[in-house]
Amino acid sequence: MSIDISRYSCQIALPGFSEESQQLLSHARVLIVGAGGLGCPAGQYLTSSGVGTIGIADYDVVSVSNLHRQVLYNPDDIGKSKVDIICERLQKQNPDIKLVPHTEKITSHNVLNIIQQYDIIIDGSDNFETRYLLNDACVMTGKPLVYGAIYQFEGQVAVWNVVYDEDSRSPNYRDLFPQVDATQIPNCTEGGVIPTLAGIVGCMQANEVIKYITKTGELLVGRILIFDAQSMQSRIIKIGSTSKTPVRGLSKTVEIPAVSVHELKERIADDSIELVDVRTEQERYAFDIGGIHIPLDELEGYLAYFTDPKPKVLYCATGKRSDEAVKLILKKIPGANVFSLTGGLKAYLEE
């Protein structure tokens, strides 16, 4: 890959940085998992700095509630694939790099094949299932993982699983959090998040990636940085120099009860199911396929409805939010007769 030296002249002029450092960036392959609040700023700065290949993995579409912190999207993008939009816009930002879209959901079945293609992984996910899956897959494949998390006014950044030699490596996510009960921790929709925090933490993640690739600076290895956006103070907590938590396999991705578009159409015809739209009011107003409307962020207030034995199929734009809704219902009401529409309205309209 040829490098436009004038484009990167300001970073090449840095002490300890050089054209050789820029060459390292141009040959690097970075995967960003999650094209949301963290993935947008991380993607922008890795693109502008000249990372040669950037993969973006996300299977969601843009919703109106994303816009306050996911700064690469605008209202015209609502309902469209995040990965398609972010790849298009980052490619315009830097035509000389390669953007690789991954629109499938990251699961225990495909995660190893996907991350094997990259040198370093950024965790910009918004759920614990994906977070642990990425951690374990990176440990198994020897890939470093740049962790970022945001909630309300607090952000966290760390670099996990840097390999020292055949027998030792830096701590991974399970060294700090062996297990987390995700049902006890609200997400951004429930607990809120200040939008600027996403930009700050996403940029920190990009910074750690650049440092790792160019072998400059001191990585957040064996340590976790905690940042408070209200006080503008940060602290670094030491975890240890090496990992003491072995990972011997991947936990299976939770299987969500689901129905295909074909099956749904058959069951609608014989009136054997009820439809539940979990999208936002704006999306519902634009288009729907019937059923009642219970937005995902209001679902817990309507749990009694799901105790009825008649099967209920939840749907959204792509299936991501309906999957989360079904998981939430089954945690609260084990045995509830609920299903997620595979592929959501996107698949429904395509078929």
What confidence category does residue 183 fall into, taking pLDDT thresholds of 50, 70 and 90?
A: very low
Q: Are 299 and 332 in contact (CB under 8 A)?
A: no
**Helices of type H across the chain:** 9-12, 19-27, 39-49, 82-93, 111-115, 128-141, 173-176, 188-191, 195-214, 261-269, 281-286, 320-332, 344-350
Tokens 């809704």: give the residue: 325
Burial class (CB in 10 A: 0-12, 13-18, 19+), 10: exposed
pLDDT at 185 over 60: no
6-46 per-position pLDDT tens digit = 999 999 999 989 999 999 999 999 999 999 999 999 999 99
Name the residue ranges covered by the structural domains of the chain: 9-238, 258-350
pLDDT of residue 49: 97
Question: CA 59, CA 342: separation in Å to the nearest integer?
Answer: 12
Choice between 256 and 51, residue whose per-residue pLDDT is larger: 51
Would you state the structure tokens that stand for residue 317, as one six-digit string? Answer: 């734009």
Q: Work out the average pLDDT over 329-348.
A: 91
Cross-strand bridge partners of residue 169: 163
Mean pLDDT of the chain: 91
Confidence bin at 191 (pLDDT 50/70/90): low
Kindly provide the b/e burial profile for residues 112-149, where b requires at least 16 CB atoms within 10 angstroms of the residue's own CB: eebbeebbbbbbbbbebbbbbbbbbbbbbeebbbbbbb
Active site residues: 188, 316
Considering 153-162, 170-179, 242-251, 339-348, the range whose residues carry the highest mean pLDDT is 153-162
Question: In terms of Cα–Cα distance, which of 55, 248, 39, 58 is closest to 137?
Answer: 248
More confident residue, 4 or 85: 85
Q: Do domains 9-238 and 258-350 have the same CATH topology?
A: no
Task: Assess whether pLDDT exceeds 70 at residue 188.
Answer: no
Mean pLDDT, range 297-305, rounded to an integer:
93
pLDDT, tens digit, for every residue of 37-79? 999 999 999 999 999 999 999 988 888 888 999 999 999 998 8
pLDDT in tens, 130-143: 999 999 999 999 99
Provide CATH code, domain 258-350.
3.40.250.10
Provide the CATH number for the domain formed by 9-238 in this structure.
3.40.50.720
